[in-house]
Each structure stands twice: as C-alpha cells, then as structure tokens.
Amino acid sequence: MIERVRQRVVITGRVQGVFFRDSTRREAARRGVAGWVRNRGDGAVEAVFEGPPDEVEALVAFCRRGPRGAVVDDVRTLEEEPEGLTGFEVR
C-alpha cells in the first residue's frame, strides 16, 4: 500500500482574485493529489492535500510561491490523519 499523508494549509497575503484556487487544482491534478481548496472570508486561501508525501510537500511548496500575481505572506500547515479523499475540488 502506498503511504499517504494529509496536510491542511492556510495561505495569507494577496491570494484571492489571482487564480490561486484554480492553479492549485491544476497542480494537484498534475501530481495526483486529492483534496480541496477554498477562499475564506478573512481573505486567506485554505486547502487540504492528501497523497504521497513527496507530492503533498511539492504542493505545499507551490503554495509558498503561489501563481503569478499572488503575494504570499505566510503559509501555515497542520498535519492531519488522511481520510481517503479522491479527486480534487475547488469549493
């Protein structure tokens, strides 16, 4: 069985209105990572990534940069127990 990890990520800065969610969805699909991403009411973006450790870490690294136009001030991560998510959705 392939090892899976889960990370919850909260990204702050200028991260809404710059295609952060769609860029994250495309990156997750490319890497075979499941989960979701959403805008929060406080201006942050929140995401959950589940998949192989290296691929999840690569997605967290992507969030530290963000897509073109984003200005990332901070990325907080929280390790959680995998739930067996499949697919990736923008909420």
Domain of 29, CATH number, reads: 3.30.70.100
User: pTM for the whole thing?
Assistant: 0.95
Residue 90 lies in a domain: no
Residue 79 lies in a domain: yes
pLDDT in tens, 45-84: 999 999 999 999 999 999 999 999 999 999 999 999 999 9
Answer yes or no: is 91 within a domain. Answer: no
The answer to whether residue 74 sits within a structural domain is yes
pLDDT at residue 2 in the model = 76
Q: Is residue 15 part of a domain?
A: yes
62 located within any domain: yes
In a domain, residue 75? The reply is yes
What is the average pLDDT value for the chain, to the nearest integer?
Answer: 96
Beta-strand relationship, 34-39 and 45-51: antiparallel
Would residue 21 count as lying in a domain?
yes
Q: How many domains would you assign to the chain? A: 1
Q: Is the predicted pLDDT of residue 1 greater than 80, yes or no? A: no
Q: How many residues in the chain?
A: 91
Domain that holds residue 38: 5-84
Q: Could you give the residue numbers annotated as active site? A: 21, 39
